[in-house]
Amino acid sequence: RGWVPAPAGEPGTPATAPRRAPRERLVAVAAHDALAGVRVVARDRRLRLLVGVLSASTLVEGMVDVLVVVTALDLVDLGDAGVGWLNAAWGIGGIAGGAFALKLLATGRLGASIPLGGMLIGAPLLALAALPSPACALAALLILGVGYALVESAGITLLQRIAHDRVRARAFGVIESSYWLTTGAGAMLAPAIIALTSPRAALAIVGAALPILVLARANALTKFADAPTPARTVAAHTERRELEPVL
């Protein structure tokens, strides 16, 4: 059963080739798509910068998740309930930051939103490291929430703007994958920094990281607002391809 006659002198061969198990096929397809997304981002200078900055912000986010607990319990003595209060302040800041982000995007200040958001994430942590108190901790997390809303809103909007339709889904896949990887890495890195230094020093180190990055790349990030749309980019690429035989 399952064998077909073969020409004389040759053994029978299976009627159908062995099929890969469905689970193996799914894993292979997922791995192929993931690598394709990485290649899409790696080939585009603007996507590389944008994904890099967003990944750095989520790495810091993972570390802040740990620092919130340490701050509430050890640094400002807010107790167990204080962890909830600080996270609530972060969430309220995110809501307020979302409204602020919409206003900035409506006025065309898209490129400046990421550097501004990065500063609003880092500066409150530096202030909290210098002046640890319950009031300062609540204010710091509130402002930090505003900063994250700006970075995420501007980052996602820019990604949709600079990525072509054919590769946009893969670029979003890279962003989502990097979020889980970097927040997890940040959550593991923060305890090591605290153990090697102190809670206040860890706040200062984490708080300085993102402002340094966004200030170093502020010029390139602000130019994103004037970046050509994918349609214009493809049209320009087509024109260059048509001129190549002439040149």
- Residue 238: predicted pLDDT: 39
Task: Supply the pLDDT for residue 35.
Answer: 66
Determine, yes or no, domain membership for 119. yes
Q: What pLDDT is attached to residue 30?
A: 55
| The pLDDT of residue 66 | 97
pLDDT of 87 strictly over 90: yes
Percentage, residues of the chain above pLDDT 70? 75
- CB count within 10 Å of CB 36 equals 13
Average pLDDT taken over every residue of the chain? 81
pLDDT at 201: 97
Provide the pLDDT confidence category of residue 211 given band limits of 50, 70 and 90: very high
Identify the DSSP state of 16: S
Distance CA 58, CA 25 (A): 31
- What is residue 34's DSSP assignment? H
**Average pLDDT of the segment spanning 23-52:** 70
Q: Is 122 part of a structural domain of the chain?
A: yes
Residue 133 placed within a domain? yes
pLDDT at 171: 80
Q: What is the pLDDT of residue 33?
A: 58
Which conformational region is residue 7 in: left (phi greater than 0), alpha (psi within -120 to 50 degrees), or beta? Answer: beta
In a domain, 242, yes or no: no
Helix locations, 44-164, DSSP H: 45-70, 79-106, 110-130, 134-162
The residue with greater pLDDT, 33 or 98, is 98
Residue 209 structural domain: 63-223
39-84 per-position pLDDT tens digit: 777 777 888 888 899 999 999 999 999 999 999 999 999 999 999 9
Position 19 scores a pLDDT of 57
The continuous run of DSSP H or E covering 236 comes out as helix 230-243
Does residue 238 lie within any of the structural domains?
Answer: no
Is residue 39 a part of any domain in this protein? no
What is the reported pLDDT for 232?
45
The pLDDT assigned to 246 comes to 34
Residue 19 lies in a domain: no
Q: How confident is the model at residue 236 (pLDDT cuts 50, 70, 90)?
A: very low
How much of the chain exceeds pLDDT 90, in percent? 49
CB count in 10 Å sphere of residue 132: 18
- The C-alpha atoms of residue 75 and residue 81 are separated, in whole angstroms, by 14
pLDDT for position 26: 63
pLDDT of 184 strictly over 50: yes
Cα distance between residue 26 and residue 162, in whole Å: 30
Q: Whole-model pTM above 0.85? A: no
DSSP per residue, 186-223 = HHHHHHHHHHHS-HHHHHHHHHHHHHHHHHHTHHHHHG
Q: Tell whether the model's pLDDT for residue 116 goes beyond 50.
A: yes
What's the angle, vertex CA 75, arms to CA 69 and CA 77, rounded to 5? 85
Q: Count structural domains, the chain.
A: 1
Is the per-residue pLDDT at 245 higher than 60?
A: no
Asked if the structure places residue 52 within a domain, the reply is: no
Q: Per-residue pLDDT for 130 more than 90?
A: yes
Mean pLDDT, residues 161-186: 85
